Structure formats: C-alpha cells, structure tokens
Amino acid sequence: MTMAHPAQYLIRSNDESIILLKTHGTIIGLLENVEYTCREESISTGDILLFFTDGIYEVFCSP
C-alpha cells in the first residue's frame, strides 16, 4: 500500500501481464533532505494504468 492506498498496477496489452508499481519511502515534502528512488516503466498504446486517488478508495471501501 502507498500511504493507505493500494499499490498501482500496469497491465500490458501485448501479453496481459500485470506489473505491480510498488513504492517505498517517506511522503514527498514531509521531511527535508530525503533521498528518493526513481523507477521508470514504458507505457504502450493499449496498456492500462490502474491507480487510486484520494477519496475513490474510501468511497467504495468504507463501512
């Protein structure tokens, strides 16, 4: 999970593989002088990027 949200996924259209776009670390802007790691993924035509934004997850998963 990323800051209480589920991780993001990249679904490849060519072979339907699913890539978990997992992250680690501190919230951006929370602390000074923090080093972050970078990750790159190419997105091709037809690929699906599945991610959650503030509010969406809470609306569907609240008791």
Instruction: Name the pTM for this structure.
Output: 0.62
Q: How many angstroms separate the CA atoms of 47 and 34, rounded?
A: 32
What is the C-alpha separation between 48 and 18, in angstroms, rounded?
9
* pLDDT tens per residue, range 28-63: 778 888 888 788 889 999 999 988 766 665 666 656
CB-facing half-sphere around the CA of 9: CA atoms within 13 A: 9
Summarised one tens digit per residue, pLDDT across range 11-26 is 999 998 999 987 777 7
Q: How many CB atoms lie within 10 A of CB 10?
A: 18
Residues β-bridged to residue 43: none
